[in-house]
Structure 1
Amino acid sequence: MTGDTTGVRKFYLDVLPVIDVRHVTMKTHILSPNPCAHWLMAGLLALGTRAWSADSPTLKDTFKDHFLVGTAINRNITTGTGFRRSPEQVKQDVALVKAQFNQLVAENEMKWAPLHPQPGADGYDFRAADAFVSFGLSNNMYLVGHTLVWHAQTPDWVFAGTNPPPPGVTNVAPRPFADTNAPGTNRFGRGRFGRGFGGFGGFGRYTGPRASREELLQRMRDHIHTVVGRYKGKIKVWDVVNEALADNGTNILRNSLWLEIIGPDFIAKAFEYAHEADPNAVLRYNDYGLENPAKCRKLVTLVKSLQAQKIPVHAIGSQAHLNVAVTFETMDQELAELATLGLPIHITELDVNSAQGGQRSFGADIADNAATTQGGLVSDADRKLAEAYAGLFRAFLKHDKSVEMVTFWGANDANSWRGNGKPLLFDGNSQPKPAFDAVIAEAKKMATAK
């Protein structure tokens, strides 16, 4: 037993602390390779997660000497209005964000469709994005903008023109625009965008008459200059191009309208325009599935090509939408491969699915995919989630000379686009789960080893 002024007695198992359940209503439990430790932890897990308090460790302080720890937030955090969240729950969410994180990214507010739904200089709606920036700056957060160029959630008007589509593509007019920020009680709430965002050029592919290369480049440049310029000096990092890589096959790039109309240099142009708009911003390429060695090699090939052209790519974003099958070795291999580029690595959208449901679909939009489930995970699922996160953070810490930022895609399970999978470190009531303790333990183990 250790000397402890909090009145909570601690015992040690494999040199990792377990809080005595007789003194608190919720438990801290740390993974150990010792089978007995796993048996004891399983018993603790069955009793539930422990309560978080102001005296508990925080992610931002625990990893302050290694990397920033951030989260994606949605409009319920920045405006105080929630989707499926009561005012008291929103208050808890905000308190959790402020206590645990030192970096923020807007999960949806800066994507093209909600930010620039109508053509022209008068077609912007900055209300939600401005609220995000104001919230972040007022709380001394490091801000990331997501995203400037993406094949999804881009309005049809961006690609529309007078040139006929290729043979075999049905010629249809652009779909009607949606006023995504129309007045009403649900203006910043869940469901304004509709599942899939297909109603205004989201994940549904535009098939009508197309813009020319020159027209689309001009629209891209105008959009990037306007958005990046508006937040110059405030947003420090931009996801300039998102998910341009092909998932399968030998092609490097996915078949998108950006690629078909402009050509493969659309990526280089986007980075050049962003650098023009804010020469001091860190410009990032962001993609998912990089734990797949073949896709990771595609990213390395792409970025090396951009580097050879002296295109201003400053960081690599690995989304890391994972499941509990992920191992330390998998992430270690990915980070080692990415490190060969000599650029900072950012883990940008981290979550780990720990139950059926909540699988990755076309895009990680919290507000559209949020689902609050009843009850708690069985202890085995909590254990597997904790083991997965422990391995991931062990890899992040091993590569902390390259890894500069780790961002969770949501602060707690209730605000997760994979809510059914309960993929985060905090439950729907903003209380820490065993995975949180496992992550903190990895930092302590590294500190002890030095």
Structure 2
Amino acid sequence: MTPTRRTLLAAPLALAACDRFASAEPTPPNVPPLKPISPAPFGTAIKALQIDDPDWVALARANVSQLTPEWEMKMEYILANGLDRPNFDRSDRIAAFAQAEGMALHGHTLIWYSQGKEAFASLSGAAFDRAFDGYIATVAGRYRGKVRSWDVVNEPILDDGSGMRDCHWSARYGHDGYILRAFEQARAADPEAVLFLNEYNQESVPAKGAQFLKLVERLLKVGCPLQGLGLQSHLWIDIQPGVIAAFMREAAQFGLPIHVSELDCTLRTEDRLDFRSQAERLTAQSARVAELARAFAALPRAQQFAFTVWGLRDTDSWYRQGDKDDGKDEPLPFDSFGRPNPMAAALAAGFGGQ
């Protein structure tokens, strides 16, 4: 969810060695590959360096039919050298890998409140407009025919749901205006791609979920070419039972395709007095993930766009990067050795309606 925390993949063997809990826990029995049992394309986030990891590639081939670049298709990377020198080396590599493996590609993301401020800082007026429109035309146009879909705008709503985020884009075009303009430019650049609005915590923060639905309603009312809803689903274990499914039903009211776009489920809590065992935390995680999978599987087939996890192995997760990693979190379907976690079993059960 933040650009600085999604760092590049460290050496797989070193991560596995640090994952001291992986071999101590039993592997759930008889968990099938996720790709064939998912009701829609099953996806994962990808970093370009993972293409060089044969273990990751083998795991992806068995379980994945769609890829989302985790960071290297974002503005922060593409414009690292400035507006006049866009950098597509890693996003091109991911696109070529997806094509070679017969996997769909979901573009992520064109416009995000947290990126682009430095690149656009010296621009104003018509020059700002040309750069905004030109960036979308260049990026979406480059991958026309290669991506299935785009997250056109990412995370426009405040965390507490009290309103829309102020950012350099909204300062020029207004809160809804920059979103509408981005979708219109994306539609012009790639008429065939399915265009998504992507957001997190709609399920777990009621005010944010309500704000998201109101935004979708406003955009559709003014003719925005919004075609799909991205529910990131960065879950945590203490979301109350039934809340995830209830929001999925609310989001489905628009009849638009729904993409579970960035699923992970951390075992961490902010309660220092939470003394639950690892097994108890995994049980709570399984319940939340299975509820999400069941809710997605219950959607009308036309609205089941894709189901994406934000990484395959625990050690690939942004939760497991940096010096705060204690080796205990298991936010993804597979452990560092590629063995199914309880989360994989929960997904399989949820997809099967159990």
Q: Which residue is equivalent to 1:329?
A: 242
Change (3 A) 1:332 1:213: farther
Matched, 1:270 2:245: no
One-letter identity of the residue aligned with 1:62: I
Change (3 A) 1:298 1:412: same
Change (3 A) 1:332 1:98: same
Residues in 2 aligned to 1:99 and 1:249: alpha-carbon distance in whole angstroms: 38
Normalising by structure 2, report the TM-score.
Answer: 0.84
Shift of 1:336: 1.3
Task: Give 1:147-166 correspondences, 5 Å limit.
Answer: 147-154=109-116, 156-158=118-120, 160-161=121-122
Matched, 1:97 2:63: no
Matched, 1:140 2:102: yes
Shift of 1:417: 0.3
One-letter identity of the residue aligned with 1:388: R
Shift of 1:297: 1.6
One-letter identity of the residue aligned with 2:348: I
Residues in 2 aligned to 1:110 and 1:275: alpha-carbon distance in whole angstroms: 18
Matched, 1:74 2:50: no
Shift of 1:438: 2.5
Aligned to 1:235, what secondary structure does the other structure show?
Answer: coil
Deviation string for 1:160-216 (max 9, x for gaps)?
A: 22xxxxxxxxxxxxxxxxxxxxxxxxxxxxxxxxxxxxxxxxxxxxxxxxx324322
Aligned to 2:224, what secondary structure does the other structure show?
Answer: coil
Residues in 2 aligned to 1:417 and 1:120: alpha-carbon distance in whole angstroms: 28
Q: Which residue is equivalent to 1:431?
A: 339
Residues in 1 aligned to 2:139 and 2:23: alpha-carbon distance in whole angstroms: 48
8 A Cα contact 2:161 2:207, kept in partner = no
Q: Which residue is equivalent to 1:260?
A: 171
Residues in 2 aligned to 1:245 and 1:96: alpha-carbon distance in whole angstroms: 35
Matched, 1:61 2:36: yes
Q: Which residue is equivalent to 2:288?
A: 388
Residues in 2 aligned to 1:416 and 1:225: alpha-carbon distance in whole angstroms: 31
Task: Give 1:271-350 correspondences, 5 Å limit.
Answer: 271-291=183-203, 292-350=205-263
Deviation string for 1:65-99 (max 9, x for gaps)?
A: x2121000112223x1xxxxxxxxx3211111111
Shift of 1:249: 5.9
Shift of 1:392: 1.8
Deviation string for 1:5-37 (max 9, x for gaps)?
A: xxxxxxxxxxxxxxxxxxxxxxxxxxxxxxxxx
Q: Which residue is equivalent to 1:24?
A: none
Change (3 A) 1:120 1:443: closer
8 A Cα contact 1:323 1:353, kept in partner = yes
Residues in 1 aligned to 2:146 and 2:178: alpha-carbon distance in whole angstroms: 26
Q: Which residue is equivalent to 1:415?
A: 316
Structure 1 ranges of 4+ moved more than 6 A: none
Aligned to 2:187, what secondary structure does the other structure show?
Answer: helix
8 A Cα contact 1:300 1:341, kept in partner = no
Deviation string for 1:24-55 (max 9, x for gaps)?
A: xxxxxxxxxxxxxxxxxxxxx99623389xx9
List runs of 5+ in structure 1 lacking aligned partners: 1-44, 81-89, 162-210, 358-376
List runs of 5+ in structure 2 lacking aligned partners: 1-21, 271-276
Hey, which of these two has a bigger chunk of helix by percent? 2
2:306 to 402, 405, 413: 405
Q: Which residue is equivalent to 1:360?
A: none
Shift of 1:247: 2.5
8 A Cα contact 2:117 2:168, kept in partner = no
Matched, 1:227 2:139: yes
8 A Cα contact 1:296 1:337, kept in partner = no
Structure number with higher relative contact order (C-alpha < 8 Å, ≥ 6 residues apart) = 2
Aligned to 1:124, what secondary structure does the other structure show?
Answer: coil
Aligned to 2:148, what secondary structure does the other structure show?
Answer: strand
Normalising by structure 1, report the TM-score.
Answer: 0.66
Q: Which residue is equivalent to 2:148?
A: 236
8 A Cα contact 1:217 1:262, kept in partner = no
Matched, 1:48 2:25: yes
One-letter identity of the residue aligned with 1:384: A
Residues in 1 aligned to 2:213 and 2:352: alpha-carbon distance in whole angstroms: 33
Residues in 2 aligned to 1:105 and 1:128: alpha-carbon distance in whole angstroms: 13
Q: Which residue is equivalent to 2:268?
A: 355
Residues in 1 aligned to 2:35 and 2:196: alpha-carbon distance in whole angstroms: 22
Residues in 2 aligned to 1:248 and 1:444: alpha-carbon distance in whole angstroms: 34
Residues in 1 aligned to 2:92 and 2:26: alpha-carbon distance in whole angstroms: 36
Shift of 1:356: 5.1
Residues in 1 aligned to 2:148 and 2:284: alpha-carbon distance in whole angstroms: 35
8 A Cα contact 1:354 1:423, kept in partner = yes
Q: Which residue is equivalent to 1:190?
A: none
8 A Cα contact 2:297 2:353, kept in partner = no
Larger Rg computed on CA atoms: 1
Shift of 1:400: 4.7
Shift of 1:441: 2.4
Deviates more, 1:343-352 or 1:377-386: 377-386
Aligned to 2:242, what secondary structure does the other structure show?
Answer: helix
